A and B are shown apart, each in its own frame.
Chain A
Amino acid sequence: QKEVEQNSGPLSVPEGAIASLNCTYSDRGSQSFFWYRQYSGKSPELIMSIYSNGDKEDGRFTAQLNKASQYVSLLIRDSQPSDSATYLCAGGYGNKLVFGAGTILRVKS
């Protein structure tokens, strides 16, 4: 059973702080991981993908992957109220994605 686990939150952070979102996965067969952002009433929007151990940075976002611990994280620096959304972690298994339940992030101004 391929499972991706996330804390549903909500995670509340003040504006300008670092938001840390975490995800664990059960099946070591996944070689790729993705973070999607979903605003209420909208479809998921890809913000980061990561395929190898370590960190990957893109603007204010940093994805981290630790395959030994089966752990993926997303850091959002200088959080803005516009970052308030649900963040979905997904593991790639071949062509398929298995999604976690999502973490609600609230950035307070």
Chain B
Amino acid sequence: SAVISQKPSRDICQRGTSLTIQCQVDSQVTMMFWYRQQPGQSLTLIATANQGSEATYESGFVIDKFPISRPNLTFSTLTVSNMSPEDSSIYLCSVVPPGFYEQYFGPGTRLTVT
């Protein structure tokens, strides 16, 4: 399928600060997706990141809070801005590799906001 890496794997941050999460894929992909998994919950799609255009955000998520960059076909970043304890979650990127129809997930970034 694809090898997907995320950095950092985990972090503990102070409220009011921002954290940028990186997602790197070993092949060129058209779309990358960012999800949030709150403690004990399932996955919720934050936004779809397309290269060369602005990200498309889902209801309840806004660009000011979760700015996304997609500078090329193998890389994307998600920033969690002005963090509060409610932002404590696992953040996951996923991709549809070339020749596939299914989404494959990166290892995730576990964020704790104190």
Asked whether, in the complex, the Cβ of A43 is within 8 Å of the Cβ of B108, the reply is: yes
* Docked-complex contact B105 and A101, CB < 8 angstroms: no
Contacting residues, chain B, for A97 (C-beta < 8 A): 33, 43, 45, 103
Bound Cα distance from A34 to B104, whole angstroms: 11
Contact of B105 among A43, A51, A96, A100 (CB under 8 A): A43
A29 in contact (CB, < 8 A): no
Residues of chain A lying within 8 A (CB to CB) of residue B44: 99
Q: Which residue of A lies closest to B30 (CB)?
A: A95
A88 located at the interface, meaning its Cβ lies under 8 Å from any Cβ of chain B in the complex: yes
A28-52: CB near B (< 8 Å → 1, else 0) gives 0000101010000011111001010
Contact A88 B42 (CB under 8 A): yes
Contacts between the two chains (Cβ within 8 Å), count: 46
Residues of chain A contacted by B105 (CB below 8 angstroms) = 36, 43-45
What is the bound-complex CA distance between A95 and B33, given in angstroms? 9
Per-residue CB contact flags for chain B residues 88-113 toward chain A (1 = under 8 Å, else 0) read 00101000100001111111100000
A44 touches B102 (CB 8 A): no
Return B55 CB to nearest CB of chain A, in Å: 13
Contact pick for A95, options B1, B96, B108, CB 8 Å: B96
Contacts A95-B31, A95-B48; A43 near B103 (Cβ below 8 A):
no
By the criterion CB–CB under 8 Å, are B42 and A46 in contact? no
Q: State A96–B48 Cα separation when bound (angstroms).
A: 8
In contact, A101 and B42 (Cβ under 8 angstroms): yes
Q: Are B31 and A44 in contact (CB under 8 A)?
A: no
- Which of B41, B42, B90, B105 has the most chain A CB atoms closer than 10 A to its own CB? B42
Chain B hits for A99, CB < 8 A: 42-44
Q: Which residues of A contact B108 (CB under 8 A)?
A: 42-43
Given A42-B107, A99-B42: 12 more A-B contacts, CB < 8 Å = A34-B103, A43-B90, A43-B92, A43-B106, A43-B108, A46-B1, A46-B104, A51-B101, A96-B48, A97-B43, A101-B41, A101-B42
Which 3 A/B pairs are nearest by Cβ-Cβ distance? A43-B105, A99-B42, A43-B108
